Amino acid sequence: MQERVFNFNPGPSTLPLEVLQQAQSELLNYKGIGISILEMSHRAPEFEEIVAEAEKLFKELAGVGDDYRVLFLQGGASQQFALVPLNFLAADKTADYVITGSFAEKALKEAQKIGKVNVVATTAAEKHKRIPKQEELNLNKDAAYVHITTNNTIYGTQWHYIPETNGVPLIADMSSDILSRPLDYSKFDLVYAGAQKNLGPSGVVVVMIHKRMLERVKEGLPNIFSYEILAKNNSLYNTPPTFGIYMLKLVLEWLKKFGGLPAIAKHNEAKATLLYDVIDEDDFYRGHAEPAHRSYMNVTFRLPNDELEKTFLQEAEKEGIFGIKGHRSVGGIRASVYNAMSLAGCEKLAAFMRDFKKRNG
Ligand SMILES: *Cc1c(COP(=O)(O)O)cnc(C)c1O
């Protein structure tokens, strides 16, 4: 392959080209220090500055103040499935989970190993093609927290409202739509996201946590699992994924330069709409998600049969359209159009979809 292709991979996924170029230019000698960022101590003042700057930028972009901390940890979103109940689900409490897809299900399963949980709504019977309405959530007023998954990466649905929990802490897995649209982040007590979809490379997970939650962390946890200890040490309790955090900081700078969340949301909506418009033209392509619940990050659809889907994938790849095979659990096609995907990429895919339909419809 001579040139870079349009990369629609669900995660790890495409990164802004400017960010890759900056990392390349700084790789051998970071800021004239004479060593690579890859070789630098996590206790070096230059690295501490990167962590502090990343925290500041994240808060600025999310629009939250100093009553929040932002941590850069390891173990992916999957580790957070366990850390959330380990830290906050006491023996005499229950937690509420809304099940809107496979990752929500995984989060639930981990919590069940740690304490008592309630499924307060599930869309499993409808193959997770929509998000439940507020009235459908059977929330418990004494719950330790409510857990939701704001974007369902595999099914291609997204919450377009923030549920009202009446004072119960709201916790969200935002792995696949973090910082992709303006959102009242102050409604959330804890938000976590694997960086590899919207924020950087794999190996870093971002946790935004309200300070009042740090006071509620259960006693006696191993240090490495305690949000309180991790926050007290500014994400440097042990050696963090230094290069990943550096890359994440570059992505946040790129996002700020782009115009922040209002600008990126417009960009993301325009991109996804190009694809949904083709799906809605007739019955050749069938979208998985109900239109009102569609994701602006993962566009999922089927073709008339498996054979055509196979041909579609093969031909797309020849056109430089990469990574659009659907998840094995739902099949079909999934185009992931995270922040860093360009409009040109979606224009190319939309044109290819129309051309393929004309030839095979
Ligand atoms: C990708 C993804 C995960 C899994 O993340 P890991 O970092 O691989 O653990 C969890 N939740 C959602 C919503 C995801 O999209």
Nearest to 347 by CA among 259, 277, 260: 277
Kindly indicate the confidence band of residue 1, based on its pLDDT and cuts at 50, 70 and 90: low
Check pocket membership of 118 for ligand 1, CB cut-off 6 A. Answer: no
Atom of ligand 1 nearest to the CA of 174: 13
Check pocket membership of 149 for ligand 1, CB cut-off 6 A. Answer: yes
Sign of torsion over alpha carbons 106, 110, 111, 112: positive
Closest residue by Cα to atom 5, ligand 1, is 77
pLDDT digits (tens, 9 = 90+) for 168-223: 999 999 999 999 999 999 999 999 999 999 999 999 999 999 999 999 999 999 99
Check pocket membership of 103 for ligand 1, CB cut-off 6 A. Answer: yes
Q: How far is CA 127 from CA 148, 191, 260, 330, in A?
A: 17, 25, 34, 9
Atom of ligand 1 nearest to the CA of 202: 7
Domain coordinates in residue numbering, the chain: 18-257, 259-360
pLDDT attached to residue 2: 66
Which residues, listed in sequence order, are joined to residue 335 by a DSSP beta bridge? 299
Check pocket membership of 173 for ligand 1, CB cut-off 6 A. Answer: yes
Number of H helices, E strands in the chain: 10, 14
Burial of 227 (0-12, 13-18, 19+ CB in 10 A): buried
* Mutation test residue for ligand 1: of 100, 171, 176, 300, the one with most atoms within 8 Å of CB: 176
pTM beyond 0.95, yes or no = yes
Closest residue by Cα to atom 14, ligand 1, is 175
Alpha carbon of 109 to ligand 1 centroid (Å)? 14
Supply φ then ψ for residue 19, to 5 degrees. Answer: -70, -45
Alpha carbon of 327 to ligand 1 centroid (Å)? 13
pLDDT digits (tens, 9 = 90+) for 295-327: 999 999 999 999 999 999 999 999 999 999 999
Q: Which residue has the tokens 């919590």?
A: 111
Check pocket membership of 194 for ligand 1, CB cut-off 6 A. Answer: yes
Closest residue by Cα to atom 4, ligand 1, is 77
CA distance 150 to 62: 15
Mean pLDDT in residue range 284-305 = 98
CA distance 6 to 336: 11
Alpha carbon of 76 to ligand 1 centroid (Å)? 7
pLDDT digits (tens, 9 = 90+) for 44-71: 999 999 999 999 999 999 999 999 999 9
Residue type, 44: A
Any idea which architecture 259-360 has in CATH?
A: Alpha-Beta Complex (3.90)
Kindly indicate the confidence band of residue 361, based on its pLDDT and cuts at 50, 70 and 90: confident
Residue 156 pLDDT greater than 70, yes or no: yes
Return the structure tokens found at 213: 């939650």
Check pocket membership of 80 for ligand 1, CB cut-off 6 A. Answer: no
**Residue burial 240-253, b: 16+ Cβ < 10 Å; e: rest:** bbbbbbbbbbbbbb
Alpha carbon of 176 to ligand 1 centroid (Å)? 7
Alpha carbon of 2 to ligand 1 centroid (Å)? 31
Check pocket membership of 11 for ligand 1, CB cut-off 6 A. Answer: yes
Residue 109 pLDDT greater than 90, yes or no: yes
Any idea which architecture 18-257 has in CATH?
A: 3-Layer(aba) Sandwich (3.40)
Check pocket membership of 203 for ligand 1, CB cut-off 6 A. Answer: no
Atom of ligand 1 nearest to the CA of 153: 15
CA distance 73 to 66: 19
Check pocket membership of 298 for ligand 1, CB cut-off 6 A. Answer: no
Helix axes 343-360, 260-281, angle to 10 degrees: 0
Mean pLDDT in residue range 100-126 = 98
Return the structure tokens found at 62: 């999310």
Supply φ then ψ for residue 238, to 5 degrees. Answer: -130, -170
Closest residue by Cα to atom 3, ligand 1, is 77
Mean pLDDT in residue range 130-146 = 98
Q: pLDDT exceeding 90 applies to what percent of the chain?
A: 98
Average pLDDT, whole number, for the chain? 97
Residue 224 pLDDT greater than 90, yes or no: yes
